[in-house]
Structure formats: structure tokens, C-alpha cells
């Protein structure tokens, strides 16, 4: 069973600080990390955060990192997202391991392939 993803595949707003698509509109987005995107202190940044167009917090996953896990191209990740063949199968609470206050494991499927990404949340609403 998969989680319903309202707005999946829709482009991010033109004034949004990242370029990409919604995975779950106004909550989770996929973005391109092409060097022109905001980054944090030179560290590998597979997630990004900020306010969504409705003003509530949202976070993004680097589509290139998801592509590496699935062993496909970044363009294919976006194509699967637009086609609704990128599925969010499950979200689980897991222990935070990098000094953050909470963490969630997001499990994705494309066909028979599975990928998992852990997102940790800081006290002020940031992600790592």
C-alpha cells in the first residue's frame, strides 16, 4: 500500500528557491542540485527546507541522490514523479543519529526497486 501524494509531479512555483517538482504538494519536493541551488556550508545536502507557498514548513529531497540509490538518472526520477510511478510506500519514525531531535525513514518504490531516505529534523524546523 502506498501513501497518496496530492500534487505529485507538479512543478515548484517559479519564485521557489529550488527548481523541481512536488512529491506531496506544499510538504515534500524533489529538487535539482546543480550548484545554483542554496546549500549549507559546503556539506553534502540531500535535503532542503523552507516555507511552502502556504507558509507551513516543507522539505525537499535531492533528486540526484534518489537517482543514485535507484541507479537511474535524475531525469528518470522526475519522469517517474510526473507519471506517478514513483511511490512513497511508507514513512517510519527512526532514532535520530546526527544530533537532531527526530528522524523519519521514507521508503520509495519505482517498479520492483526500493530506496530508503532518512530525514532528520532539528529544533528550529530544519532538515539534514
34-47 average pLDDT score: 46
Mean pLDDT throughout 31-40? 59
DSSP per position, 57-71: EEEEEEHHHHHHHHT
Angle at Cα 19 formed by Cα 25 and Cα 59, nearest 5°? 45
Q: What is the pLDDT of residue 28?
A: 94
Q: Would you say 67 and 73 are in contact if contact means Cβ atoms under 8 Å apart?
A: yes
pLDDT bin (cut points 50, 70, 90) of residue 29 is very high
Average pLDDT over residues 107-116: 93
Q: Domain-by-domain residue ranges, the chain?
A: 20-121
Q: Find the distance separating the first CA and the last CA of the chain, reported in whole Å.
A: 27
Nearest partner of 32 among 53, 54, 48, 43, judged by Cα: 48
pLDDT of 38: 41
Helix (H) or strand (E) holding 82: helix 74-82
Predicted pLDDT at 1: 65
pTM of the full structure: 0.81
Amino acid at each position: 500500500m502506498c501513501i497518496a501524494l496530492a500534487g505529485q509531479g507538479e512543478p515548484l512555483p517559479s519564485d521557489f528557491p529550488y527548481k523541481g517538482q512536488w512529491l506531496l504538494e506544499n510538504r515534500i519536493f524533489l529538487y535539482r542540485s546543480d550548484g545554483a541551488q542554496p546549500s549549507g556550508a559546503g556539506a553534502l545536502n540531500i535535503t532542503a527546507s523552507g516555507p511552502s507557498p502556504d507558509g507551513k514548513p516543507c522539505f525537499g529531497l535531492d533528486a540526484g541522490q534518489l537517482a543514485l540509490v535507484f541507479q537511474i538518472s535524475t531525469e528518470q526520477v522526475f519522469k517517474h514523479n510526473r507519471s506517478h510511478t514513483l511511490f512513497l510506500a511508507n514513512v517510519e519514525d527512526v532514532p535520530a543519529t546526527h544530533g537532531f531531535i527526530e528522524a523519519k525513514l521514507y521508503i520509495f518504490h519505482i517498479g520492483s526497486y526500493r530506496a530508503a531516505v532518512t530525514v532528520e529534523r532539528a529544533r528550529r524546523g530544519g532538515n539534514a
